Homo-oligomer: A and B are copies of this chain.
Amino acid sequence: MAGEQDAEVSAEADIGQVAHACDVEESARQELLRLRASIDNLDAALVHLLAERFKYTQAVGHLKAVHKLPPADRLRENAQIMRLRKLAEDAHLDPAFAEKFLNFIIEEVIRNHKEIAQEQQSRQ
């Protein structure tokens, strides 16, 4: 009888542990969903800011094409990199990543500027 009771207590403890593990898993899953919802909101904001940024760089591209200025401007790019690295540090973002991010964007912008310059030339 004592053995049977021990087995029952042990089985209850096992069920308790499994139930606890399920609760932990469920709470982790909920936390993951919560974090991902915030990431999705930030991504929507990022995409809208990028759309706005490309409107301005497109205007810069047209201005450069009309005035026959080169698509890239190293002096300006270096100043932007230094500024963004400083801003990233203050915001606790890896400055190396901020620099990589800006280079990624600038690469796309210069590609766009070259396209605009070519369009402008083919019109003349």
Contacts and interface: CB of A to CB of B under 8 A. Distances in A.
A110 to B, nearest CB: 13
Interface stretch (A10-18, A87-95, A116-124): A87-95
A52 interface: yes
Copy number in the complex reads 2
Given A28-B66, A39-B53, A47-B87, 19 more contacts: A36-B60, A38-B56, A39-B57, A39-B60, A43-B83, A43-B84, A43-B87, A43-B102, A46-B49, A46-B50, A46-B101, A47-B88, A47-B91, A47-B93, A47-B101, A49-B49, A51-B92, A100-B108, A104-B104
Interface of A: 25, 28, 31-32, 35-36, 38-40, 42-54, 56-57, 59-60, 63, 66-67, 76, 80, 83-84, 87-88, 91-94, 97-98, 100-102, 104, 108
